[in-house]
Amino acid sequence: MSILFVTNMFVTILFVTTRTGDTMTTTAPPAPPPLTARAVWLTLIVVLLADAMDLMDATIANVAAPSIVRELGVSESVIPWLGASYALALGSLLVVGGRIGDKYGQRRTFLVGLIGFIVGSALAGLAPSAAVLITARVLQGVFGAMLIPQGMAIMAATFPKPMLRKAFAVFAPMLGVFAVAGPVLGGILIDADVFGLGWRPIFLINVVLGGLALVLALRHLPTVPARPSTRIDLIGSVLLAFALFGLLFGLVTGSSDGWNGLTIGSTVVGVGLLGAFGWRQARADDPLLPRSLLGNRGFTSGLIVGLCVFASFSGLMYVLSLFFQLGLGYTPTRTSLHLIPLTIGIIIGSGIANALILTLGRRLVLLGMVATILGTGILLLNVVTSGLGVAWWQNILATSVIGIAAGICFNSVFNTALGNLQPEEAGSASGSLSAIQQIANGIGSALVTTLFIGGLARGTESAMTTTLIVILAVTTLCLLAVPLLPRRAIHLEE
């Protein structure tokens, strides 16, 4: 979950519901009665609690990874999977999770997802081994895919239009707060060593937050009529999930532990399953990614650019945390504090993008990617010239620029990719883009972190230098796809 996911969903809600004759209720059953103001705010609190757990879980592992590896006594090759296992499971099943809510009822699916997420969090917090922890992270991702889409859908279906806008005016800033608070809270909890539990409270805190959300949801979460006719391509989702895990397992493990029959076989199976997923999507009656979207050059270009941007940024977030702790010797708390400028930069960049996206269109995407190259270049220059003696203000300068650039890219890439779509395509496109974001987060965190860890034998400075050069190369290569994006971004009619 991220600020981008919320922005993306908000764009879809407004884009579809503000156009006469193209409302979201065209194929839906009769809308539920409008909620009172009190019910609106209680529902908003429930959804915020659920999304806060997801958002903090997605970012908190960045800071906790070295502590987890040290306490469990496992090799650093486990680190890439702490974030990737969650993000890949979430991204692979996010679209089908939304359709499960449509088919069986969004309130019911929300409650199942919430309970499952709490169980997964408890299992992660009590995990006796890395294998159990990674399994628990996958479980969190699976149930998170059921949980996250329902909150937005319930709000869109039950909130009166003026209240919906007021709710989102509160929603997005609160998620910004959670994005900042996640790593900071993680660092503080780890260093505080609450009850001698070390890193475990970063997951166990979800039991408390989730329990509160569950009590409130059982009492106040409204019911939206189900649509039993909704079709679900569960086979496609499972093929995609196993393909991504197989491919990444082969690439990551092969790079870190050496190539053998298992890693080569896993890579081959992953590629084969990815081909099977493509074959399935070409023939399924209701594919995860509608075929009409794949024929839209602007949208597919947005998918490519988004995949590169999110993978690079997710990997960079992990590597920064590792560099601060393994290279500069920072504590988890100090590491999290040094990441705050990056998160604040994302919020600032998002504001800049919101103000300029309709004026600049795809030129704003270009601006954001150039700024990303600039910020990463500054960070590379710091490492090359100062090494492990880099000053705090140098880190803040680099991470602030990277954060602002990321905020600009996050908003502008998706808004531009949706620019020339028809209203009836917006919902499917938005869901697909959100899934791509999560998948890219998993791929980026796994591959970039593996690259960094693999270079540690040559020294932390060398590992960081190589990693940053690769990120710069990938981002620069992505610039080639920007001219293929729609010239103008999506326009929301008031």
Look at 13-22, 365-374, 485-494 and tell me which has the smallest mean pLDDT: 13-22
Residue 307: pLDDT band (50, 70, 90) is confident
R_g over Cα of the chain: 21
Answer yes or no: CATH 2.60.120.620 is held by domain 296-494.
no
Please enumerate in sequence order all residues whose Cβ is within 8 A of that of 95, keeping only pairs 6 or more positions apart, or say none: 237, 288, 289, 431, 432, 435
Euclidean distance between CA atoms 12 and 19, whole angstroms? 12
Taking residues 69-88, what's their average pLDDT? 88
Instruction: Return the pLDDT at 201.
Output: 93
Residue 169: pLDDT band (50, 70, 90) is low
In the chain, the percentage of residues whose pLDDT exceeds 70 is: 88
Instruction: Return the pLDDT at 142.
Output: 93
Among 226-235, 304-313, 371-380, 485-494, the range with the most confident prediction by mean pLDDT is: 371-380
Q: What residue spans define the domains of the chain? A: 1-5+32-225, 234-288, 296-494
Residue 217: pLDDT band (50, 70, 90) is very high
Residue 205: pLDDT band (50, 70, 90) is very high
Give the burial class of 446: count Cβ atoms within 10 A of its Cβ; 0-12 exposed, 13-18 middle, 19 or more buried.
buried
Instruction: Return the pLDDT at 1.
Output: 44
Give, to the nearest 10 degrees, the angle between helix 79-104 and helix 426-454: 170
Look at 272-281, 358-367, 408-417 and tell me which has the smallest mean pLDDT: 408-417
Residue 329 CB coordination number (10 Å): 9
DSSP 196: G
The CATH code of domain 1-5+32-225 reads 1.20.1250.20
Give the burial class of 470: count Cβ atoms within 10 A of its Cβ; 0-12 exposed, 13-18 middle, 19 or more buried.
middle
Instruction: Return the pLDDT at 424.
Output: 61
Amino acid at 228: P
- Residues 230-256: pLDDT tens digits? 888 888 888 888 888 888 888 878 876
- Whether the domain at 1-5+32-225 and the domain at 296-494 fall into the same CATH topology: yes
Instruction: Return the pLDDT at 290.
Output: 75
- Residues 446-494: pLDDT tens digits? 888 888 988 888 999 999 999 999 999 999 998 988 898 888 876 655 4
With a cut of 80, say whether residue 180 has pLDDT above it: no
Distances (CA, A) of 175 to 5, 56, 273, 312: 10, 10, 36, 22
Residue 310: which of 142, 436, 489 has the closest Cα? Answer: 436
DSSP 128: S
Residue 73: pLDDT band (50, 70, 90) is very high
**In the block, residue with structure tokens 């081994």:** 129
Instruction: Return the pLDDT at 55.
Output: 77
Taking residues 52-56, what's their average pLDDT? 82
Instruction: Return the pLDDT at 25.
Output: 38
Instruction: Return the pLDDT at 35.
Output: 73
Mean pLDDT rounded to a whole number for the chain:
83
- Residues 186-198: pLDDT tens digits? 888 899 888 899 9
Residue 429: its H or E element: helix 426-454
